Structure 1
Amino acid sequence: MQQRRSSNGRPSGTDGSDFSYRMVVDSRYTKVAKGKSRLSFLILSQAVVQLIGALLLFYSYTKDERFDQLAVSSTSIYLVSLLIGELGRKRSRAKMLRFYIMTSSLGMLLLIVSVLKSNVLQEVVKDSSGWEAKKFELIKAGDVLVGLLVQILSISTTTSLISNMSPPKRSS
């Protein structure tokens, strides 16, 4: 205990030349930490995009009394995949992150099919004067496009995170 008390704050017995024996964090672990924080932001962004989409879906249901089963099922699949992705990110589970990639991609694919099936974009292109009547459908299409962009970014981030989480391959 007497050795630890020194006037300059450094323990006696070290002259600073022991730096080569200190442990260094592998770059893989710093990449995992950065990837986890980036994935957290992307999952939050996806949740906001899906919340906006769900609100637009609810509004169109109350206005038109039309129930779009494909959009509802894709939104629910997507929201469940976000929960799985967040759990996989927090617990560093590669299998959950792979399942998140598959289910969120399926949800996004179903949302894209739902927008394409509604033919809103084709109707607006043919008759551009009637776009005001279809403005909520156009907002939904824009929401799906933003969601697609965030989906692409989250897939690339998640695959990078999974590859950095895996132990390095040993060469024989």
Structure 2
Amino acid sequence: MQQRNSGKRRPSGTDGSDFSYRMVVDNRYTKVAKGKSTLSKILIIQAVVLLVGVLNMLFTLLTNKRLETLAAASTSLTFISIMIGELGRKRSRVNLLKFYIAASTIGVLGSIVAIFLSDSQVKVFNDLSIWETEKVLLLKIACVSIGLFVQIYSVTATISLIGNMSPPKRAS
């Protein structure tokens, strides 16, 4: 049996002068690949923050407190938007990514409004001595704050990805 040479020879059918015909990947496609990777990481972080928020809501239910409807609705909307964002990222669908931006932003803003409208939040800010007993509220505020910063980063990364996914405009 013949042994192969380890690459010291030139491939058959070429004399080495065909380098000008080789394909080069456009910079835009490289940016799309990096943007998709970044968005994947952002979606994972958003899902973890959302999971902590859901656990916080479950803890609220276990302590026989009233579940806030706005917080539950915004959490559900954020969950759905993360799923749609992942689908848009995988399939490179600009419309799904735009819906992800809008829905997740509405979900995060709904969570912020739910924090400001909650009864326990008003009590804590009026009487700062009960911070020790309201650790659940602190966790909720921390979750929403982290979610807001992740959302801001998510919107900028997704807009950049959408810009790179769209075909370049031709000058007429």
Provide the TM-score with structure 2 as the length reference. Answer: 0.90
Q: Which residue of 2 aligns with 1:25?
A: 25
For the aligned residues, what is the CA RMSD?
1.9
The answer (yes or no) to whether the contact 2:105–2:151 under 8 Å persists in 1 is: yes
Alignment-mate amino acid for residue 148 of structure 1: L
Instruction: Verify: 1:83 aligned to 2:83, yes or no.
Output: yes
Q: Does the aligned pair in 2 maintain the 1:120–1:138 contact within 8 Å?
A: no
Alignment of 1:35-46 (within 5 A): 35-46=35-46
Q: Tell me by how many angstroms 1:8 deviates.
A: 1.6
> Which residue identity lines up with residue 59 of structure 2 in the other structure?
Y
Cα pair distance change 1:30/1:75, threshold 3 Å: same
Q: Percent of pairs identical after alignment?
A: 54
Distance change (3 Å), C-alpha of 1:6 and 1:87: closer
> Contact (CA 8 Å) 1:6, 1:12: kept in 2 or not?
no
The change in CA–CA distance for 1:120 and 1:67 in structure 2 (over 3 A counts) is closer
Structure 1 unaligned segments of length 5 or more: list them.
none
The answer to whether the aligner puts 1:96 opposite 2:96 as a matched pair is yes
Number of the residue aligned with 1:51:
51
CA distance in 2, matches of 1:98, 1:6: 50
Unaligned 5+ runs, structure 2: none
Partner of 1:139: 139
Q: What amino acid is aligned across from residue 128 of structure 2 in structure 1? A: S
Residues 65, 26 of structure 1: CA spacing in aligned structure 2 closer, same or farther, 3 A cutoff? same
Per-residue CA distance 1:89-137 (angstroms, 9 max, x = gap): 0000000000000100111110000011126555444433210111110
Change beyond 3 A, Cα 1:98–1:7: closer
Runs of 4+ in structure 1 deviating by more than 6 angstroms, as ranges, are: none
By percentage of residues, which structure has more helix?
1
Distance 1:164 1:7 in 2: 37
If the length of structure 1 is used for normalisation, what is the TM-score?
0.90
1:63-97 deviations in Å (ceiling 9; x for gaps): 13312111111111110001000000000000000
What is the aligned length? 168
